[in-house]
Amino acid sequence: MAIEISVRADVKAFQRSLDDFARKQMPFATAQALNAVALKVRDAERDNMVKRLDRPTPFTLNSVAIQRATKASLQATVFVKDIAARYLEPYELGGVNKLDGRALIKPVAQRLNQYGNLPRNTVRRLAARKNVVVGKIKTKAGTVDGVWQRTKAVRGKRAGLQLLVKFEDAHRTQAVLGYRTLAAKTVAASFGRELNAAFAKALASARR
């Protein structure tokens, strides 16, 4: 998932009044401005995730990255890395909250990490226990798919099964992130200022 916004019109308007010497500094200045704005967009997207999502992990936040512009390309891209893009897409476009066709995992009787998630490999670790079964069990509330622990009969209670982790079907979620809208606003608010600053710096260091 990449965010690309054109600023060609802004650059053309900026260089109309420049002389030949100044115009030669434009590719470098433009690349510098694009990279500065790309960093602002990246940081704005990460901050927005913290506000809109429930305790996003460092992996999710760091999935927003940039590809820097050069004098030759004059294009900076802000993008979300592939794995995160798949599970974040419903929060941008709306749709089913599900990753790669797997069921959603809902902890029931397990300690969570600081991000509200099961620690990695928890399901695999539980499934390896001799007193644990994984699968669908018929209950009074209906059939429940998950990870179950066999319990022993104690103090008059019969032996049974305790649900540790529940596998749920995918559910629909709302579009709450607004990647593209936020990116466009950030570019509009900062590109002109960054271009002016980069151009002034390029002129100051250039030799006539």
Contact status, residue 147 vs residue 165, Cβ threshold 8 Å: yes
Question: Domain limits of the chain?
Answer: 2-97+173-205, 104-169
Q: What is the pLDDT of residue 101?
A: 47
Burial of 88 (0-12, 13-18, 19+ CB in 10 A): buried
Strand order in the sheet with 142-151: 104-107, 160-168, 142-151, 132-139
Chain-centre distance for alpha carbon 166: 25
pLDDT in tens, 26-41: 888 999 999 999 999 9
What number of other Cβ atoms are within 10 A of residue 26's Cβ? 20
pLDDT in tens, 167-191: 876 777 888 899 999 999 999 999 9
